[in-house]
Chain A
């Protein structure tokens, strides 16, 4: 009888311990949100909401400091958008190759390549961008801007480099998610299209991809999240000053602003950096909400 009571106790305790483990995730998200908000909001009152969000001047260490992060915000948006424009078509077509075109042998070559690309640490992408892209970009820059007085030379560290590096970094995500949603398209659709006289390629672009649209969109949104949150790689290739995001300008993103200035910032400067973190967090949360809504809808369709 005693051992039975002991057993019941062990059973109950185990249940509670597992529940605690599971609740830690909720606790973590709540505390991260709470910290981002409490640390990020003071700057809005010290600097002023419109001056902070829409100010065009970022001079935190000047005698009369200015803390406008408008250029930083639009750099992040444009950089992410550019990387999506570049990375999604390549990723989608690679996914089409993997699922619809390639035979087993070729697919066995491309699939591991995609997986390994996903596994490469971001600092390595940054290092390669620094050594390969930046010098090439500098040559291009000299070619385009020689003689023009308005352009400040960057040595090749610019928005374009960041966009290219980001596009490469989101490629595996887009390929994997698109490929699995294309695989989920029922074969009857393909067979019907082929039977009606459409060619294989027509079937892919007119039937299969439209049918896999929602899954592909999920991949795109995941890519947006990746690109918005990437910090180290683009910090190494995008240059070090806050500018309007023109292709050949040196730019700062929300993430790179944190990486490069958090180490030494003090006082209001530090507060503003936390506000930058809060803006980034809000963007990421919007992406997350969109993603979860899309997933729920996809699950509802099944």
Chain B
């Protein structure tokens, strides 16, 4: 698991599931919360996606607006949790981040 693949997977999920395919304007810094892309329902499906795709369980403490405000923030969160809690990562994740 590296930053690039996490980034691409997140963009794919958000484009397909949350933007109904219309992800042309989506960047690493798009404000996901302000623009209503991630609301409470989307947040739950996003957490499930992160769990199933990367084997990373985001602890309740880390479910905060700062960690969900952009794709960049989300990918940093996922990499950090995977690194700090390797038992939760999928088969010994790449520590390269």
Whether A associates with B in a native complex is no
